[in-house]
Structure 1
């Protein structure tokens, strides 16, 4: 599952959004650094959101969630590639049916 990833830098450090006079405060630099560590995975997911919403590229643990969007129940015994094809096919089928 998603969570804190060690060594992942935040593309938008919180300290950079503060006025210059506050950016020099050592306590704020350390304090807000903790938020950057927690927010970096969120930014990483949002920056790559299209990859999460495509059956061909979504991480395997997101396939069940994505299948729920297209009203498909996946069997855990199926291979990941087969599950990806089922989800992609269901989206196309619903699109064709107009639902």
Structure 2
């Protein structure tokens, strides 16, 4: 990790902006639940619907937002789309949130 004294104000501004954008995407409980469901591995929309107890239109809408944020990606497998985490920075954040907010679950 770079020493704080060596980091320029512009670099700090850029990093803070990038972190804030990611945290905005994580701040929605529905999107956060989808991301947490994807930590163990990829899932289809139907599997996410079942895991979350949510409608197809809700899950699809949230996945669209997460894709636009670059947090999830999808791959076609036959007739279904499989979604997975695409940003390697988000997995440790989700794992830590789970440790803090979901102990014993």
**TM-score, normalized by length of structure 1?**
0.28
Computing the radius of gyration from Cα coordinates, the structure with the larger value is 1
**TM-score, normalized by length of structure 2?**
0.27
